[in-house]
Amino acid sequence: MKSLRTPDAQFENLYQYDFLPNYLTVSGADGTPLRMHYLDEGPRDGEPVLCLHGQPSWSYLYRKMIPLLTAAGYRVLAPDLIGFGKSDKPTEMDDYSYSGHVAWLNDWLTKMDLTGLTLVCQDWGGLIGLRVATDQIDRFKRIVVGNTGLPGTAMLTDEMSAFMEQMYASVPMPNTDMVREAFQSGGPGAFLYWVKYASESPDFSVRDVFKLLSGIQDDRILDGYVAPFPDDRYIAGARKFPALVPLLPKHKDERLANDRAWAVLEAFKGRTLIAFSDGDPVTKGGDAIFKARIPGAESVMIKDAGHFLQEDAPEAFSNAIIDFMKKD
């Protein structure tokens, strides 16, 4: 497996991102050592909060929330998933798999040997983080899910999966406008436009993804999000993520693995908070699945926020987490 490491110069003087880097080596299924970057802020004796990002963001996503959480006395850890941020980036899309991401993060967590954790996860941070949490559930005290999902066989039967595969074949090569229109329509095949755009479009752009899924207008912030990707050699992981959502028949093993994770979540003795935003076109309605399957969970709706609720409503999301943690 070949990988690239984004030059440090790319991260100099980033807007609102003044954190010290930390690194740990993890190994993939083939044993390839890869350097994973993570932030570790706040008092070392504070309760640890593990914040996981999704696609195509990195720990920069939590830059506004970290000072709020550390000021409340918590230790905040925010790793960059392999392929993102300051972490190493395998160069081929085939280097990335759902279970591979789970293995990398499991290795990081085992080596960090953290306990008493509160997981905060969004987007792919949830799909991966919830699998890792249920693999090592004794390390976790609380779980906060926001704008994410965990597709299993109850949500996607074999028949539905086969239908999705047929639909995907009929999706034209989309641009960002077509993806936006598909999400706005709310149709059952909307996400397939996103998958095809990310994995197949020659015009895929990380900057355009943030323009599509957020209201960010400040070029300084957009520059921060695209800093890890100086050119297209670095974006294989970002391109592959949507295609790894286990929708199609070839993903059956991952849906079964998610079923096993759901069983652990449903039996979790700790506390769970469901904190979705009110303006996310990608995961709209997904909170209902978590509420139905974890009836003892608490819930809050983060107002006036889109897909990246950490960016759009950092104070409201942070305060919801802090209030939730203080109830113990």
- Marked catalytic residue, from 95, 107, 123, 287: 123
Task: Return the beta strands (E) in 123-237 as ranges.
Answer: 140-146
Question: Catalytic: which of 80, 107, 135, 280?
Answer: 280
CA angle 200, 170, 56 (to 5 degrees): 30
Q: Is the predicted pLDDT of residue 183 greater than 80, yes or no?
A: yes
Any idea which fold 3-155+252-326 has?
Rossmann fold (3.40.50)
CA angle 127, 131, 137 (to 5 degrees): 140
* The token pair that represents 109 in the structure block: 């967590």
Whether residue 129 has pLDDT greater than 80: yes
The DSSP annotation for 72-85 comes to TT-EEEEEPPTTST
- Unique residue bearing structure tokens 């957009």: 222
| In contact, 117 and 143? CB cutoff 8 Å | no
**Residue from 122, 52, 42 nearest 80 by CA:** 52
pLDDT band of 258, cuts 50, 70, 90: very high
Q: Is 280 a catalytic residue?
A: yes
Gap between the Cα atoms of 316 and 322, Å rounded: 10
The tokens describing 124, both together, are: 């792919």
Question: Is 51 in contact with 120 (CB distance < 8 Å)?
Answer: yes
Task: Supply φ then ψ for residue 84, to 5 degrees.
Answer: -135, 160
Instruction: Note if the pTM is more than 0.95.
Output: yes
Please give the pLDDT value at position 197.
95
Query: Quick one: pLDDT at residue 3?
Result: 96
Q: Which of 148, 138, 149, 20 is nearest to 77 (CA)?
A: 20
CB 196 within 8 Å of CB 53:
no
In the predicted model, what is the mean pLDDT of residues 190-207? 93
Non-local (6+) Cβ contacts of 16 within 8 A are: 63, 64, 221, 224
CB-neighbour burial class of residue 157 (10 A; exposed 0-12, middle 13-18, buried 19+)? exposed
Residue 306 — very low, low, confident or very high, per pLDDT cuts 50/70/90?
A: very high
Distances (CA, A) of 292 to 209, 285, 286, 287: 31, 12, 10, 9
Phi, psi of 24 (to 5 degrees): -150, 140
CA distance 109 to 42: 18
Predicted local distance difference test score (pLDDT) of residue 93: 96
Q: Span 297-321, mean pLDDT? A: 97
Average pLDDT over residues 157-164: 95
Find the catalytic residue in 80, 95, 307, 312. Answer: 307
pLDDT tens by residue, 12-57: 999 999 999 999 999 977 789 999 999 999 999 999 999 999 999 9
**Measured distance CA(303)–CA(111) in Å, rounded:** 37
CA distance 174 to 186: 16
Domain boundaries, the chain: 3-155+252-326, 158-244
Give dist(CA 34, CA 73) in Å, integer.
Answer: 31
How does residue 133 score in pLDDT terms, banded at 50, 70 and 90? Answer: very high
**Token code pair at residue 106:** 């499991």
Burial-class residue 188 by CB neighbours within 10 Å (0-12, 13-18, 19+): exposed
Q: Where are the beta strands (DSSP E) in the chain?
A: 3-4, 22-27, 33-41, 48-52, 75-79, 89-90, 117-122, 140-146, 271-277, 298-302
